[in-house]
Amino acid sequence: MKLERVIEVYRKKDECHINSYVINLDAEGILEVLDDLILNEDDWPEEIYDPYYLTESQVERLKPFLTEPLHTDFENNLYELMCYGVE
């Protein structure tokens, strides 16, 4: 099973899921780009399984690695790094 990392976008007012954006980086690549990402104690740097809320700066640094364009609106939306298993 392959792991896929995405940026999930949620509307702040009702936490409704808006869209998902696939990141074309493995865990090591994400940690290189997001050198300020602090992993949870139980997470693995080689995998990054846990969800993490992303700052505006972090989302901007990941944008070049997305499979489709992402237009951000930090006033109204939340952005979360997620990991999924895909076949």
Structure tokens at 9: 């976008």
Structure tokens at 20: 């998902």
The residue extents of the domains of the chain are 2-86
Output the pLDDT for position 37.
Answer: 95
Output the pLDDT for position 74.
Answer: 97
Domain 2-86 matching CATH 3.10.50.20: the answer reads yes
State the pTM of this model. Answer: 0.92
Residue of 34, 26, 15, 81 whose CA lies nearest to 53: 81
pLDDT tens per residue across span 10-47: 999 999 999 999 999 999 999 999 999 999 999 988 78
